[in-house]
């Protein structure tokens, strides 16, 4: 899988315009079988696990029930890539795309990425998936702040990338 690029914004409308039949087929599949907390529990109970990888991309090995997750991904990139691979594990062949991406399966890749982004926007689902698969919670935006509210102190919440003030103290956002 090519690495996730947060600058690439993919809309479901754009995918529908390019391949309406195949995207509608995928939308029907996820409507009939949505990813839920129970579905995540079932994947873990079936033996699925996340392993760190230094490969050039994240991957799923269905035979070994492994989700290989790149170790150098930061915040959003890690969570979207993780959920992208969870989609492959959960939906199996329905969301398969070739590596490297080719014209026949690129829409499936972008659909899977779009789906992962939708799931990541749900704080409860994100929290459940991250904790159930044993990943380290990371707070970097409003959704993750809601998902992992116990991870921050009540007085201070510092976003990554905020520069220290000239007096050496970090900027804070009060509740």
Q: 24: domain CATH number? A: 1.10.10
Domain annotation covers residue 164: no
Domain membership flag for residue 113: yes
Percent of the chain with pLDDT over 90: 53
Six-digit token string for 138: 């990371």
Whether the CB-CB separation of 148 and 127 falls below 8 Å is answered with yes
Show the 3-state SS of 14-69: HHHHHCHHHHHHHHHHHHHCCCCHHHHHHHHHCCCEEEEECCCCCEEECCCCEEEE
Helices 20-32 and 106-120, packing angle to 10 deg: 40
Number of domains in the chain: 1
**Above 60 in pLDDT, residue 5?**
no
Please give the model's pTM, rounded to 2 decimal places.
Answer: 0.78
Quick: pLDDT tens for 138-172.
999 999 999 998 886 554 455 555 544 545 555 45
The residue segments making up the domain with residue 95 are 12-138
Q: How far is CA 172 from CA 67, 116, 141, in A?
A: 36, 30, 14
Between CA 100 and CA 111 the distance in angstroms is 16
Domain-located, residue 157: no
């Amino acid at each position: 899988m090519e690495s996730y690029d947060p600058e690439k914004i993919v809309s479901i409308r754009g995918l529908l315009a390019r391949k309406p039949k195949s995207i509608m087929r995928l939308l029907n599949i996820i409507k009939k079988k949505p990813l839920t907390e129970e579905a995540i529990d079932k994947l873990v109970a079936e033996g699925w696990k996340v392993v760190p990888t230094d490969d050039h991309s994240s991957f799923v090995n269905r035979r070994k029930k492994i989700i290989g997750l790149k170790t150098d991904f930061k915040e959003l990139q890690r969570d979207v890539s993780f959920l992208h691979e969870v989609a492959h594990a959960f939906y199996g062949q329905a969301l398969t795309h070739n590596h490297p991406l080719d014209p026949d399966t690129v829409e499936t890749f972008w659909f899977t990425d779009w789906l992962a982004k939708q799931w990541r926007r749900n704080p409860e689902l994100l929290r459940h998936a991250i904790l159930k698969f044993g990943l380290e919670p990371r707070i970097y935006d409003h959704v993750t702040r809601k998902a992992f509210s116990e991870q921050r102190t009540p007085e201070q919440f510092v976003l990554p990338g905020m520069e220290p003030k000239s007096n050496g103290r970090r900027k804070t956002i009060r509740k």
